[in-house]
Structure 1
Amino acid sequence: MFKKLPGDEAHHLVSTTPDTAVVFRPAVVQTPAIITVIIFVGRLLAGAVRLLWRHPIASAVVAAPGVIWTLYGWRVALAVTTLPVSPLIPWAFFDRASFNHWIGWRLLAWWRLVWVYRRHWQPVMVISGLGRHVRGRDYLPRLVGVSCTSWADVVAVKMLSGQAVKDWADRTEHLAHGFGAVSCRVTVARAGRLLLTFPRCDPLAVPLPAVSVPETPSVGPVEVGMQENGQPWRLKVHGTHVLVAGATGAGKGSVIWSAIRGLLPAVRAGLVEHWALDPKLMELSYGRAIFGDRYAASPKECADLLDEAVSVMQERAARFAGVQRNHVPTVEDPFVLVIVDEVAFLTAYQSDKGLRQRITAALATLTTQGRAVGVGVLAALQDPRKEVMNIRNLFPDKIALRLDESEQVDMVLGDGARDRGALADLISPRPEVGAGVGFVRLETSLDPIRVRAAYVSDEDIRHMARDSVGGEAA
């Protein structure tokens, strides 16, 4: 009369009498204790064999002291254990960098793997929705390994079949809080493999002093600050165009002046020219002597200077046609860097429609045709909306400093940049903490890089202007 149903089928039962509830009592089978003990011992032995197979060296290191203690006594075991480790102590004190490279970060990675990531892997994956529970079985992405640097944990993950990178990018906050980190960034290692970066500290929390002026002239990537991994941040200005976006006080001036500072030796050698447009009359005017007669402040002067830059570009293009495809800076044809402090004031907020159209057309012409003939544009703005800056996509390299809204991050760096960890809207507004901090997205890479520009003080700018005047006089 009664039919036993599997547990998954119980919710399909329908009662034909409305006032009668369906009661489901699963069958209970009493398991003899001896069978439970055998299963437990079997699983214990299987786990021990699996541990020895996967980690033979670690198992031998742990078991060796016990074996030596049993055979030769505790004194011999203590000596054998401490003698190999004793040279590591002075090594760690006197050469910390090499010790961390070979041993320190590896030990930290092993500890973080065991205590943080493997320990919390299943609940974080299931609760965040990256794992799947199908017919009573959990399917989880595989934790491949963990490596540590001085500032972050890098976790290698193999995705489940059918998952996309966006599935992980949409859950970076779940992952960060689940593993006790302040943020999480997702990058693609290869097909089906991801790298999750969990910062342990912030190496960019302290302001950076101005970078020293290079000794040799060069138009190559100039050092303007530091990347989050501790490497110098070198900004490419020759052969590209750069857009810097950030709210008031975000540190746009740090990026601009650091780039100018890095090119000063090339300016003195005649290989670079700085053309400055300063409609706010505040930022670039402080070092006006650096620019000479290539400085414009009023909207009409800015439009005339941009038209002159277009003329230089077109004249070079006519000479280079059929002769060369890439620009090599020379004294006859120097690299021209057009610097615009607040481009939105000229393209969107300019009341004179004629000047606004001239400036927009000139900037569009320079950003589409200028880099092949040695004319680059470095522009800064506060509001990255399309109606304010409708040619922002013509800048191959983009920098997002502190922004007011999360939507503005993708406006500057491109769709999906914020999901991959470019949290420019969460940068601290405190100048000592967040000024100059931002994210860079290069033309050759979709992954944003966190950086901080060096702070060029007023005194540094005065020295730069004084040296420029002295160099021209000499």
Structure 2
Amino acid sequence: MFKRLPGDEARNLVSTTPDTAVVFRPAVVTTPAILTIVILVWRILAGLVRTIWRHPIATAIPAILGAVCYVYGWPPAVSLIGIVVLGLVSWAFIDRAAFTRWVGYRLLAWWRLIWIYRRHWQPVMIVSGLGRHLRGRDYLPRLGKVTCTSWADQVTVRMLKGQAVKDWADRTDHLAQGFGAQSCRVALSQAGRLTLTFPRNDPLSDPLPALPVPEEPTVGPVEIGRCEDGRPWRLKVHGTHVLVAGATGAGKGSIIWSVIRAMLPAARAGLVELWALDPKLMELSYGRDLFGPRYAATPEECADLLDEAVCVMQKRAARFAGLQRSHTPTVDDPFVLVVVDEVAFLTAYQSDRQLRQRISAALATLTTQGRAVGVGVLAALQDPRKEVLNIRNLFPDKIALRLDESEQVDMVLGDGARDRGALADHISPVPELGAGVGYIRLDASPDPIRVRAAYVSDTDIRAMADTFTGGEDR
């Protein structure tokens, strides 16, 4: 019992027992030893099966050597190792490409999986925010298979439950720096799984010379350069419309002239007509003889030529109605490719308002109705803003060369293109390194592809004009 104190003495009392929080201790359940042993054995067996499934060759080699050593002794095992090493070295000298594809890249992938990705996986995931540390436990995305190509590492990842592709696309810079790469690209391979691409080198750093003129006429996808993975870059121009956007000196002329160069045999055979609009009087004027009367320079001439293309399109549509839904190039109905250099000068910077509206209406008509009847548009511009070209969404295939701002990448290639790895604003302004380099996003795929167009010099253009006569008036 407390003794009553006189006056205010009670407030001077200090308790010697501090307040303590109530602690609830969970009940400890003793796990039987046999259950612990069964779980441990199961994990060991599961890990062994998984290792054999993922790395069959790496596990078969020590198993075979161990069996030979156990049955015949160590001299035959050492001899077998020497024979295998000698065979691999001979294979590498005889057929280096095949050896690299079947052995070299697999060994490199195994080494980079162990030394680069698995070694740094946990800290990179936690620091970048893609992993979670909750109640003393790390919840990490699962690292899958690593595949090496001649220029990049492709890493398969299983995302955490509840994660989205955008969570990874927003952290490409973190991933690239964390694993020592210059950049990182994210692509959804299947539900819950991603493929991360980490380039090791740049196969497009050297300019490409002009490609040879095709021997056979074709209007199909034409080869105009090379993709980052080493495959030829074939651009579809028949049955679609193509928009090329890039800053000054980005290499728009390389794409335009490479397309024209690839279609010259078809033009000479009468299967293609090349129509050129050159309001700057600079790019297309070098090969003016290739276009003949289908060449326009002044805004008035450009408007007249576009109106003529609309008339051709409408006449074909009237003839094709009810008979065919797609166009097959013939001498009577050739494929018409309308090439427009610096289309923004005609649609936005033209001082004559009526002429500007006339040109915009003709381009809109061609891009909405021309594909089915064999009239395509290949347009190039520097500024991809909507107020400059309000019909840019009518071009199914778009190419982004070097751009000045990161926001312009999504303007050209669509929302999320830059997050997926289309770093068009990071392309080098040095002509030898970045001219003709760009990203293409096809209508059927959301993932951008890095490409480089071949450079067609003034000498090549004049030689083409002297050799071919594809611009005759038919």
- TM above 0.5: yes
1:233 shift after superposition = 0.3
Larger Rg: 2
Q: CA deviation at 1:93?
A: 1.4
Instruction: Give a deviation string over 1:206-263, Cα, whole Å, max 9, x none.
Output: 1011111111111000000000010000000000000000000000000000000000
Counterparts in 2 of 1:356 and 1:83: CA distance versus 1, 3 Å: same
Distance in 1 (CA, whole Å) between partners of 2:216 and 2:367 is 28
* Superposition pairs of residues 211-250 of structure 1, within 5 angstroms: 211-250=211-250
Tell me the SS of whatever aligns to 2:372: helix
Q: Deviation at 1:347? A: 0.6
Percent identity, aligned pairs only, is 73
Aligned to 2:50: 54
Do the aligned partners of 2:273 and 2:470 also contact (CA within 8 Å) in 1? no
* 1:339-391 residue CA offsets vs partner (Å, 9 max, x unmatched): 00110000111011111011011000100011111000000000001111111
Does the CA contact (< 8 Å) of 1:105 and 1:148 recur in 2? yes
Contact 2:273–2:335, Cα closer than 8 Å, also in 1 = yes
Alignment of 1:326-341 (within 5 A): 326-341=326-341
What is the correspondence of 1:321-470 to structure 2 with a 5 Å cutoff?
321-469=321-469
Name the structure 2 match of 1:137.
137
* Normalised TM-score (structure 1): 0.88
User: Alpha-carbon deviation of 1:68?
Assistant: 6.4
Q: Distance in 2 between matches of 1:275 and 1:22?
A: 89
**Aligned-partner SS, 1:402:** coil
Aligned equivalents of 2:49 and 2:239: distance in 1?
Answer: 54
SS of aligned partner of 1:203: coil
- Work out whether 1:122 is the aligned partner of 2:122: yes
Structure 1 equivalent of residue 7 of structure 2: none
Contact 2:209 2:456 in 1 (8 A): yes
Could you report, residue by residue, the CA deviation over 1:309-345 in whole angstroms, capped at 9, with x for unpaired residues? 1111111111111111101111111100000011000
The correspondence of residues 5-154 of structure 1 with structure 2, limited to 5 A, is 52-56=48-52, 58-59=58-59, 61-62=61-62, 75-154=75-154
Whole-Å separation in 1 of the counterparts to 2:19 and 2:430: 63
Counterpart in the other structure of 1:286: 286
Asked if the contact 2:227–2:452 (Cα under 8 Å) also holds between the matched residues in 1, the reply is yes
SS at match of 2:105: helix
Q: Deviations over 1:102-131 (max 9, x none)?
A: 211111111111111111111111111111
**Using the alignment, how far apart are the partners of 2:469 and 2:273 within structure 1?**
14
* Cα 1:304/1:59, change in 2 over 3 Å: closer
State whether residues 292 and 471 of structure 2, in contact with CA within 8 Å, keep that contact through their aligned partners in structure 1. Answer: no
When residues 272 and 123 of structure 1 are mapped into structure 2, their CA distance, relative to the original with a 3 A threshold, is: same
Task: Give 5+ residue unaligned stretches, structure 1.
Answer: 1-16, 27-40
How far the C-alpha of 1:436 sits from its partner, in A, is 0.2
Residues 220 and 70 (structure 1), Cα distance of their counterparts in 2 relative to 1, 3 Å cut? closer
CA contact (8 A) 1:52 1:59 kept: no
Distance 1:339 1:311 in 2: 17
- Cα 1:115–1:50 change in 2 (3 A) is farther
Q: Per-residue CA shift, 1:172-196, capped at 9, x if unaligned?
A: 1111111111111111111111111
Give per-residue Cα distances to partners, 1:408-459, cap 9 Å, x unaligned: 0000000000000000000000000000000001111111100000000111
1:55 is paired with a residue whose SS is: helix
Map 1:177-192 → 2, pairs under 5 A: 177-192=177-192
Gaps of 5+ in 2: 1-13, 24-36
- Structure 1 residue 138 displacement after superposition: 1.1
1:34 is matched with none
SS in 1 for 2:403: coil
1:227 to 1:179, Cα distance in 2 relative to 1, 3 A: same
Instruction: Provide the secondary structure at the position in 1 that maps to 2:248.
Output: coil
Q: Give how far 1:63 is off.
A: 6.4
Distance 1:302 1:317 in 2: 23
Q: TM-score, normalised by structure 2?
A: 0.88
In structure 2, C-alpha distance between the alignment counterparts of 1:364 and 1:112, rounded to whole Å: 51
Aligned in 2, Cα 1:22/1:104: closer, same or farther, shift over 3 Å? farther
Work out whether residues 169 and 186 of structure 2, in 8 Å CA contact, stay in contact via their aligned partners in 1.
yes
Q: 1:329 & 1:64 partners in 2: Cα distance? A: 61
Amino acid at match of 1:266: A
Aligned with 1:290: secondary structure?
helix
Report the alpha carbon displacement of residue 80 of structure 1 after superposing the two structures with TM.
Answer: 2.5
State the AA in 1 paired with 2:51: H
Q: Could you list the per-position Cα deviations for residues 35-66 of structure 1 after superposition, in whole angstroms to 9, with x for gaps in the alignment?
A: xxxxxx99999987666443355356346657
The secondary structure found in structure 2 opposite 1:282 is coil
SS in structure 2 of the partner of residue 373 of structure 1? coil
CA contact (8 A) 2:291 2:472 kept: no
Q: What secondary structure, in the 3-state scheme, does the structure 2 residue paired with 1:371 have?
A: coil
- The residue matched to 1:87 in structure 2 has which SS? helix
Q: How many Å separate the matches in 2 of 1:283 and 1:59?
A: 60
Kindly indicate whether the alpha-carbon contact (under 8 Å) linking 1:241 and 1:371 is maintained by their aligned counterparts in 2. yes
Q: Which residue of 2 aligns with 1:8?
A: none
Matches of 1:378 and 1:433, distance apart in 2: 25
**1:283 positional shift:** 0.3
| Contact 1:156 1:195 survives alignment (8 Å) | yes
Counterpart position of 2:29: none
Amino acid at match of 2:391: I
Q: CA deviation at 1:22?
A: 9.3
Deviates more, 1:464-473 or 1:279-288: 464-473
The amino acid across from 1:284 in the alignment is: L
C-alpha distance in 1 between matches for 2:250 and 2:335: 28
Alpha-carbon separation, structure 2, partners of 1:217 and 1:121: 52
**Residue identity matched to 2:446:** L
Deviation of the 1:470 alpha carbon: 9.4
Letter in 2 for 1:357: Q
Cα distance in structure 1, aligned partners of 2:73 and 2:20: 65
Match in the other structure for 1:10: none
